[in-house]
Amino acid sequence: MENYFFVDSEHLSPETLAKKHEIEDNPSSRKNHMEYLPGMEIIKSNVCENVMEQIKRFDCSKYTAKDVRAALQHDKCSIEDFKALLSPAAEPFLEQMAEKARIETSKHFGNTVYLFTPLYIANYCENYCVYCGFNCYNHINRMKLSMEQIEKEMQVIADSGMEEILILTGESRVHSDIKYIGESCKLARKYFRMVGLEIYPVNTDEYRYLHECGADYVTVFQETYDTEKYEKLHLLGHKRVWPYRFDAQERALMGGMRGVAFSALLGLSDFRKDALASALHVYYLQRKYPHAEMSLSCPRLRPIVNNEKINPLNVHEKQLCQIICAYRIFLPFVGITVSSRESASFRNGIVKIAATKVSAGVSTGIGDHESKYTGKETDDIQGDEQFEIDDNRSLDTMYKDITDEGLQPVLNDYLYL
């Protein structure tokens, strides 16, 4: 098990501290966030152009109660209807939106709720993203699990009854290269029926390799679709290149992945525009790749280590509910995931309306599932968490709570022949 500290300002050498301040204080010292770096694949696609054109034309203040009523009456939700449902004018109609969303969810998903858990296998990162607990200047315990340790973690998770896992790493090709991630996928196939990845964006051939190793789907957070705000939040590293990140899901589909997931981190910028962009990203790719499974996540910014450089734009629970209901009405076939960043009470309520997938038995740290799942003390060094969670229910508790709500928890619905 590798373990070291990548430090914050109090522990940086004078030279590194000077570089950090140069990056922060002098925008001209940063690489252009819209230009690709060597080795980054460029694909021909009009999806980004279509999404950004719609965002430019979106003025949420122009929509009225009349527009919202019309959107709710339409059998099929257009892009303009969706914009109305995201607008402030829709806030008084939340109850009607929730009922329409509930009906759509019931039509296409029945009363099922899918369960999964994340497994962080490394938290090394080469990016300086000012809002992230893993960023390269934060003073946290860094760790990369060996294959033996990954298998041990997977055994513990599988023994709990979980059948779907999401493998995550920090964004470091040096410490978490493609082969390392691929071998992790092969191990996961021994224990789980569904394997997802949330890693740094890669090229089409690398996604194809990871799919061959056992990965079913890929999740990428765009964080924010506001390119100007993105530049101010992502100061260093490959993640700084906004367009390469935007096209990650399409490259994954080109590489043979069965499904892809999308998200903005609500609170980094204008949440209504980010919600619109996230859904349109799905909308246009859905038309281009109709065979693919697509899903949306709806995370809000949570407290992190050493976060003094960003003031989150508040997204309240009612606004989050509005976004999720609007997603469901606009994209009735799309899966919607609500993470453990949210409270148990919110998640219990939203799965009865629009969400179709929730995590259980969650840890955002490295190498701590045995201690968290079994209560067994371990001498292993553990890596620090990326952010705080709110809902820490185990799989058994989550399963019971969902059942008590009159819903059917689903651990897996795929049969491999």
Per residue in 143-186, pLDDT tens?
A: 999 999 999 999 999 999 999 999 999 999 999 999 999 999 99
Q: Give the model confidence (pLDDT) of 209-248 as tens digits.
A: 999 999 999 999 999 999 999 999 999 899 999 999 999 9
Q: Tell me what pLDDT residue 26 has.
A: 78
Helix (H, G, I), strand (E, B) or coil at 217: strand
Nearest CA to 48 among 40, 56, 59? 56
Q: How far apart are CA 115 and CA 61, in angstroms?
A: 37
Architecture of domain 2-35+93-410 in this structure: Alpha-Beta Barrel (3.20)
Q: E strands along 123-266, which residues? A: 128-129, 140-144, 164-169, 194-198, 217-223, 234-236, 259-264
**Dihedral, CA of residue 272, residue 276, residue 279 and residue 283, to nearest 10:** 170
Helix (H, G, I), strand (E, B) or coil at 358: strand
Domain spans, the chain: 2-35+93-410
- Beta-carbon-side half-sphere exposure of residue 411 (alpha carbons within 13 Å): 13
What string of pLDDT tens digits covers the 417 residues of the chain? 333 333 344 455 666 667 766 777 778 778 899 999 999 999 999 999 999 999 999 999 999 999 999 999 999 999 999 999 999 999 999 999 999 999 999 999 999 999 999 999 999 999 998 888 787 777 778 899 999 999 999 999 999 999 999 999 999 999 999 999 999 999 999 999 999 999 999 999 999 999 999 999 999 999 999 999 999 999 989 999 999 999 999 999 999 999 999 999 999 999 999 999 999 999 999 999 999 999 999 998 765 544 444 555 678 999 999 999 999 999 999 999 998 889 999 999 999 999 999 999 887 778 777 666 666 665 555 655 555 778 989 999 999 999 999 999 999 877 665
**Dihedral, CA of residue 345, residue 295, residue 341 and residue 391, to nearest 10:** 50
- Beta-carbon-side half-sphere exposure of residue 37 (alpha carbons within 13 Å): 16
